[in-house]
Amino acid sequence: MRSSATTIEGYLAEMPEDRRKAVQKVRDIILQNLPEGYEEVINWGMITYQVPLEVYSDTYNKKPLMYAALANQKNHMAVYLTGIYLDENLNKDFKKKYLETGKRYDVGKSCVRFRKLEDLPLELIGESIGAIPMEDFIERTKGLSARRSKND
């Protein structure tokens, strides 16, 4: 469910009240834990936390590197944690800690899906958001790009 909103306020205003409250709470957790330098914008039809192009512009698609995102989808809401999926150890640790919470582990390629706020381990989401400083994220992404180029 891609939004046509151009501002975060507009994006939030499009949602039913229960979802808006849930997304706002997750957004608050993200902003409290977001490492310095990332910017919060509307990109790809969702609230995105990204590396500004002024900081790193050498991307394959000429768009900013997405570190994380928050989205309202048709049947659920989702937190995209791109950063932890670049690191196998962070990914494994996230899964282990998530399962220990007893909450339903509903994940996709780089997203955690939730239908209501209670389904999401907010402390773990905050910890995961704070896990990778922007400079490290850029370096990890460069390393991934270099490995892809070698394999092509």
pLDDT 10s per residue in the chain (152 long)? 567 889 999 999 999 999 999 999 999 999 999 999 999 999 999 999 999 999 999 998 999 999 999 999 999 999 999 988 888 899 999 999 999 999 999 998 889 999 999 999 999 999 999 999 999 999 988 876 555 555 55
Query: What pTM did the predictor assign?
Result: 0.91
Q: Which domains does the chain have, with CATH numbers?
A: 8-151 (3.90.1150.200)
Q: How deeply is 54 buried, as exposed, middle or buried, from its count of CB atoms within 10 A (0-12, 13-18, 19+)? A: exposed
Considering Cα of 124, then 109, then 9, then 129, what sign does the dihedral take?
Answer: positive
E strand or H helix that includes residue 10:
helix 8-13
Do residues 67 and 82 lie in contact, with contact meaning Cβ atoms separated by under 8 Å? yes
